[in-house]
Structure 1
Amino acid sequence: MFNLQITDETSPLKSVVLGTAMSSGPMPKPEEAYDPKSLEHILAGTYPDEADMVREMQGFSAVLEKHGVQVFRPEILEDCNQIFSRDIAFVVDNRLVEANILPEREREFEAILHVLDHLEEDQVIVPPEEVHVEGGDVMPWNEYLFVGTYTGPGYRDFITARTNQEAVDFLKDTFPKRIIKPFELRKSNTNPRKNALHLDCCFQPVGRDMAILHKESFINHGEYQWLVDYFGPEKVFEITEDEMYRMFSNVFSISPEVVVSERSFERLNTWLRKQGLTVEEISYQEVGKQGGLLRCSTLPLERGQA
């Protein structure tokens, strides 16, 4: 049992839904790819094996449990990719929002209903149909709710555009005590080095007052600069295009003092340790071939006081 409560990205984690790679199905056809990184590996013949991804996710679960986190897993749906639980829902304060995700993925939310069955009816919010939003684009932080979005021309042509202006307006109405701060993200259906699928693919707060950030993923320089000024240049770890492609910003905080990171992220992990954080390094590169990493795999349900 848990009390639904998420006020920020790094307070001590108590409970979380971690996705599953079990029965994730055959390699998709190129035209079935949801993002350009998956497409890249499908075409190259390097799409990850299920057994490798299951092993990596077991390693992630073991680290979470080592730190006393209650880990829930989805019911396993046959031949269904359920790795990225952040896509299907997100929690802000004491309310859970069911994401309006790609229609092909609606079954994934049904597979976590057993975790949510004790919640009050008014704690689960189902946005109207015109609101497109996924959890990777939504970050509570202090008085803010940071939201990645795309409102430019050709929204419907981008399978990588997951959160729209209607979502920004909906979040303002739903969480009136929060300051909604949107950020326009660069999108590409075909080039993973020019695509920020979600906000957490180019930015994430860590610790108590630091952030990981990739400049070129933000369409508007002023929005990027706002983040630099907010956290302070000395508190920002700037990542390169290659590091963004490898998803350096998609680590996961267990607490303000503990971060789970991919073990190959040597430059980032060294910096985090210099800031006094404990870095739990795990192997997660095979999961990463599908366009998401550690934060994408998690749906935090409850965090305590920092």
Structure 2
Amino acid sequence: MEAVTDSTEAIPDPGRVMVRSEFAPLRTVAVAQSQLRPPDEVSDSEVSFLGSEARPLLESMLGRDHADVFPDRQRLWESERENLCSVFERYGVEVLRPRMLTDAEKAAGGSNGYANFFVRDPWFTIGDIVVEGSLRLPHRRLEVLPSREILTTRALDGRCSYLALPQPAVPDGAPGDLGAGPFLEGGDVLVYGKHVFVGNSGLASNDLGIRWLEKLLTPLGYTVETVRLAPNFLHLDCALGLIREGLLVACPDALVDGLPAALRDWDRIEISESDGIDLGTNGLPISPEVYLTDPVFRHIGDRIAEHGVTVEYVDFAVTRSFGGAFRCTTQPLRRE
């Protein structure tokens, strides 16, 4: 496969939308807000990807807003996102923020609850194409709405394509059934030039959603490759991260068939299953020279630094307790 090359020269063009790869220099990014009210009830399958410490936390707030149950923790959560924005601004990255949920949007969630906490999944960017996804968990299915103002000004009015998946089928009411989809979530989508990897663990994106993406992208010269995941890993970015050309971090226990063939000759930093579940692969390249992760993963960051990459650290303990980290919290509109 031809290497993805990146220029670090700034390209001032506010109307441009383009994501060349997971590690191309980050120019414009949306950073999530911190709102969550989980459903009144959850099945085991809906929380199987969470760490052992996170599950009791979620169970203690079922049907209630996190800010009401844990006000001090809510302030810490919000400060984590603000600290992340400060790092981006220090590197000259334009930061966009989705708005907060309205009272009507919260009410529309009913017993399913609501979420506005991981902007990576409800929409995503591949090249000059912006896609509204389709989320499997019911409390997240309206999560795209707070980003609509960003999508209107940057995608609808920008020089790019902007489209959405079909809405998912209605579940039949059987225990644990969330419908037939199609489901396609941004956390499962990794971009490497014209090669797009899509994870499938059975918990998020599914075959129907991946087929839809293939139909969209194949005529445009893209290759879409499914990456099978172990059933305790929600998304592909919880199992694999592309740091720069020829360097990746991966959790072998999460990758059912091993690394995709296109990546097998890359230098790799392998991590344990427990580090993978704790989001050890979910750091974020700001550029091929700068990588962002949590200080709890300094042992991983030190290995990345040995390859000449500067590693920045932001404490993301509260964010990680909800099953996502830096990549989950962000959605690029420009990486080139």
The normalised TM-score by structure 2 is 0.77
Which of 123, 127, 140 in structure 1 is aligned with 2:161? 123
Q: Which residue of 2 aligns with 1:92?
A: 126
Q: 1:272 Cα deviation (Å)?
A: 1.3
Identify if the C-alpha distance between structure 1 residues 120 and 41 changes in structure 2 by more than 3 Å, giving closer, same or farther.
closer
Contact persistence 2:289–2:309 (CA under 8 A) = yes
The farther-off stretch of 100-109 and 265-274 is: 100-109
Distance in 1 (CA, whole Å) between partners of 2:41 and 2:291 is 34
The answer to whether 1:205 aligns with 2:256 is no
- The structure that has the greater radius of gyration is 2
Distance in 1 (CA, whole Å) between partners of 2:206 and 2:264 is 25
Identify if the C-alpha distance between structure 1 residues 246 and 39 changes in structure 2 by more than 3 Å, giving closer, same or farther.
closer
Q: 1:27 Cα deviation (Å)?
A: 6.7
Q: 1:42 Cα deviation (Å)?
A: 4.4
The answer to whether 1:175 aligns with 2:217 is yes
Identify if the C-alpha distance between structure 1 residues 219 and 140 changes in structure 2 by more than 3 Å, giving closer, same or farther.
same
Identify if the C-alpha distance between structure 1 residues 280 and 171 changes in structure 2 by more than 3 Å, giving closer, same or farther.
same
Q: Which residue of 2 aligns with 1:8?
A: 21
What are the within-5 Å matches in structure 2 for residues 201-280 of structure 1?
201-220=238-257, 223-224=258-259, 226=261, 229-231=264-266, 235-280=267-312
Q: Which residue of 2 aligns with 1:58?
A: 82
Distance in 2 (CA, whole Å) between partners of 1:53 and 1:134 is 23
Q: Which residue of 2 aligns with 1:104?
A: 139
Distance in 1 (CA, whole Å) between partners of 2:126 and 2:263 is 24
Identify if the C-alpha distance between structure 1 residues 104 and 39 changes in structure 2 by more than 3 Å, giving closer, same or farther.
farther
Q: 1:46 Cα deviation (Å)?
A: 8.5
The farther-off stretch of 114-123 and 2-11 is: 114-123
Q: Which residue of 1 aligns with 2:100?
A: 76
Q: Which residue of 1 aligns with 2:196?
A: 145
Distance in 1 (CA, whole Å) between partners of 2:121 and 2:293 is 19
How many residues of Structure 1 are paired with residues of Structure 2 in the alignment?
281
Q: 1:219 Cα deviation (Å)?
A: 2.2
Distance in 2 (CA, whole Å) between partners of 1:210 and 1:19 is 27
Q: 1:184 Cα deviation (Å)?
A: 0.8
Moved over 4 A (4+): 25-30, 44-48
1:257-281 CA deviation, whole Å, 9 max, x = no partner?
A: 1111101212111011111111111
Distance in 2 (CA, whole Å) between partners of 1:228 and 1:92 is 19
Q: 1:29 Cα deviation (Å)?
A: 5.2
Distance in 1 (CA, whole Å) between partners of 2:43 and 2:16 is 37
Contact persistence 2:38–2:115 (CA under 8 A) = no
Identify if the C-alpha distance between structure 1 residues 271 and 46 changes in structure 2 by more than 3 Å, giving closer, same or farther.
farther
Percent identity over the alignment is: 23
Contact persistence 1:228–1:236 (CA under 8 A) = no
Identify if the C-alpha distance between structure 1 residues 40 and 32 changes in structure 2 by more than 3 Å, giving closer, same or farther.
farther
Q: Secondary structure at the match of 1:147?
A: strand
The normalised TM-score by structure 1 is 0.84
Distance in 2 (CA, whole Å) between partners of 1:252 and 1:134 is 18
The farther-off stretch of 30-39 and 272-281 is: 30-39
Question: Which amino acid in structure 2 is aligned with residue 247 of structure 1?
Answer: L
1:22-43 CA deviation, whole Å, 9 max, x = no partner?
A: xx24576562784332785242
Q: Which residue of 2 aligns with 1:158?
A: none
1:95-138 CA deviation, whole Å, 9 max, x = no partner?
A: 11101013432332111111121334872111124421000000
The farther-off stretch of 199-208 and 29-38 is: 29-38
- After superposition, the CA RMSD in angstroms is 2.3
